[in-house]
Structure 1
Amino acid sequence: MDWQEENNRLKRNFKFKNFIEAFGFMTKVAIVAEKINHHPTWTNTYNQVLIELCTHDAGNVITDKDRTLAAEINKLI
């Protein structure tokens, strides 16, 4: 499953073998997000990470920043 557009957000759910893998993925995403200064809204429950992207300072809509971060996240899989 790739990114889905829903309610002015890009959303994707990632599933891993266990909590450690999920948390490791989140750490990698955090480094990328900090480098491009665009941070996700996300949740983690055991082996799943749900990420939602939108640009808050553009009125909570999807922008090129979100598409760029989504593409960078895809490279981490």
Structure 2
Amino acid sequence: MWIEQENALTQSFIFKDFQQAFAFMTAVAAAAEELNHHPWWSNVYNRVEIKLTTHDAGNVVTQKDWELAKRIDEVAEKYINND
């Protein structure tokens, strides 16, 4: 579930292993390029933390962030539910 706090949307994703987390990140990168909107993220082993904010709008949450969040959820569903 995305949480809006401190002018950003945030969510953590946990996968079965590093390879699955990295595959998820690769798929998210493609979606981000398509939308021309890029996340801040961090990855340690099977955990990916994502923060979304719109820099050119003054670092606040905009519709661009919600749209990317929706796409990220769609990608996550493919990886988290396919063990």
TM range, normalised to the smaller chain? Answer: over 0.9
In structure 2, what is the Cα distance between the partners aligned to 1:24 and 1:6?
27
SS of corresponding position for 2:9: strand
In proportion to residue count, which structure has more helix?
2
Q: Identical aligned pairs, as a percentage?
A: 54
In structure 2, what is the Cα distance between the partners aligned to 1:56 and 1:36?
14
In structure 2, what is the Cα distance between the partners aligned to 1:75 and 1:51?
14
In structure 1, what is the Cα distance between the partners aligned to 2:74 and 2:15?
16
In structure 2, what is the Cα distance between the partners aligned to 1:46 and 1:73?
19
SS of corresponding position for 1:10: strand
Give every structure 1 segment of 4 or more consecutive aligned residues whose post-TM-superposition deviation is greater than 2 Å.
none
* Cα RMSD, aligned residues only: 0.4
1:6 alignment partner in structure 2: 5
Q: Which amino acid aligns with 2:55?
A: H
Unaligned runs of 5+ in 2: 78-83
2:81 alignment partner in structure 1: none
In structure 1, what is the Cα distance between the partners aligned to 2:5 and 2:40?
14
Unaligned runs of 5+ in 1: none
Deviations 1:20-62 (A, max 9, x none): 0000000000000000100000000000000000000100000
Number of residue pairs matched? 76
